[in-house]
Amino acid sequence: MIDPYHLEDLSLLAESVDLECKLAQGQDGKGEVPKDFWSTYSAMANMHGGVVLLGVREKAGVFSVAGIANVEKIRTDLFNTLNNRAKVSMNLLTDKDVTAVTMEGKTVLMIRIPAATRKQKPVYLNGQPLGNTYRRLHEGDRSCDDETVKRMLAEQLEDSHDTRILNKFGLQDLDIESLHAYRNAFAVHRPGHPWIDVTDIDFLRLIGGWREHRTSGETGLTAAGLLMFGHWPSIVEAFPLYFLDYQERPADQDSQTRWLDRVVPDGSWSGNLFDFFRRVIRKLTADLKVPFVLKGDTRIDDTPVHQALREALVNTLIHADYSDRASVLVVKQPAGFVFRNPGMMRVPVEQALHGGASDCRNRTLHQMFLFINLGERAGSGLPKIRAGWETAGNIMRLFDSCEPFDQTLLEMDWVQPSLTDSIESSPISSPIGSPIGSPKTGEKILQQLRENPQCSTQQLGDALGISKRAVLKQIEKLKQQGRLARIGSAKGGHWQVLEQKP
């Protein structure tokens, strides 16, 4: 999110996913809260937060300070409306989020909008969530369709998606071979455990795959039980959008061969989560190098990289929203690995990477994997993935997106030898950053803009793994060096790389 540092030079500003500038002069020229501020408030709150500057004019991509004559009136009107439930569903702001900043001798009002929590979403307008809920996409505020709003409401109410009892689903919907394979793994990891000798139905009940509702008396298979051990036809009856996809892709992305190996539910295997994990983890780690390390007289084949990939696969499966439109996708390619699960993140990226807090979407599935020593306890999974992967000098990036569908992506790239000198350890908020002052960072920005002149500063930061602030500083340097120019407005224009003459 932008900080006052950026306001020292308006040439560094560009409207983006987390910054919006509004003139806010009002009819009398003394200032008022613009009507379109409220859709921006909703949009930023429902995504990752952002900053709105009132009193800044934008024309053809050039920003200038207009200032606000009556700041206190705007502040009062702002909080009056924020606390009016007929207009805004929730006030996320405090006094410290609304500050007056002096620029060029004029006063600008800077409003920091925090990201709403899962329990606070959707943040909507006019007393009705359907048709009045927005999300921030690139530089614009986009109205959410009804399906997206209903999913937000469900996320707000359901702490765990996989505990519900599925009406008229039972043991006939399970792949018994999958269940028995899991029970064998359970016995290996927990020898002598009292659950080993119970019946299948009792075992399912003990691990959360079968449940009885205490109030209604309803008894049956849970969503977790079906997802973990079910037959493919039965799973898609309960979850019509459910799909699992593993792809091993060639180095040449332009090749007519789209993948070298693929695992999808095709009728030749059960199609459930447990069998998908067993098939895919072998393929992910099949050709990893294992150094010769002994513990006593035993060779240790389980490296931090193996552990990171195993944890990443479990993490993808337990955090997926199986009612959402994106599929679970796992990609292995020469550059590294990609893990995608449907659904936005439930906690901020920085918090997830730092650890200590978790909001798992499928808590019963999480526990099922834990019973066979797969996965980590709440709040420690992603830090372990990151530590295991980066210990070997590799780079990792975690982010979520609502385009084209709600999805969370974990990208784990091997470090290329040519990049080793320009990549160093970086803060959690920038997991694959090059040193901000490195000349190579500027060259990478130019290369990205040659390939995509419409690329936004946020997209540049995402692509290079550095903060937006670092991108803006590099762009300003490139402008001063006469190597980069902005053509047209911030919203509709593009970048032009000015090639240097030999």
Using DSSP bridges, classify how beta strands 407-413 and 50-54 pair: parallel, antiparallel or unpaired.
unpaired
* Predicted local confidence at residue 139, as pLDDT: 78
| Contact status, residue 331 vs residue 358, Cβ threshold 8 Å | no
pLDDT of res. 433? 34
Q: Residue 480 contacts by C-beta under 8 Å, 6 or more apart in sequence?
A: none
Q: Distance between CA atoms of 57 and 37, rounded to whole angstroms?
A: 14
CA-CA distance, 114 to 153, in Å (whole number)? 19
Q: Does CATH number 1.20.1090.10 belong to domain 434-497?
A: no
Residues 404 and 441: their CA atoms lie apart, in Å, by: 29
**Nearest CA-CA partner of 113 in 132, 129, 136:** 136
What pTM did the predictor assign?
A: 0.80
pLDDT confidence of residue 377: 77
Name the CATH topology of 171-413: Heat Shock Protein 90 (3.30.565)
Tell which phi-psi region holds residue 343, choosing left (phi > 0), alpha (psi between -120 and 50) or beta: left
| CA 378 – CA 370 distance, rounded (Å) | 10
CATH 1.10.10.10: which residues of the chain?
434-497
Give pLDDT, residue 189: 95
CB 374 within 8 A of CB 314: yes
Three-point CA angle 323, 326, 327, nearest 5°: 90
Q: Determine the Cα–Cα distance for residues 270 and 282; give it in Å rounded to an integer.
A: 17
pLDDT value at position 247?
96
Which residues are 332's β-sheet partners?
A: 248, 337
Q: Where in the chain is the domain with CATH 3.30.950.30?
A: 4-155
| Range(s) of the chain covered by CATH 3.30.565.60 | 171-413
CATH topology assigned to domain 4-155: 3.30.950
Q: Running along the chain, 502 residues long, what does each successive block of 10 average in pLDDT? A: 51 74 88 95 96 88 88 96 97 97 91 96 97 91 96 94 95 98 97 97 97 89 98 97 96 78 96 98 90 58 89 97 96 96 94 86 97 85 91 90 93 66 33 40 85 80 72 80 76 75 51
Per-residue DSSP letters for 147-197?
Answer: HHHHHHHHHHH-S-TT-SB-TT--GGGB-HHHHHHHHHHHHHHSTT-TTTT
Q: What is the pLDDT of residue 419?
A: 34
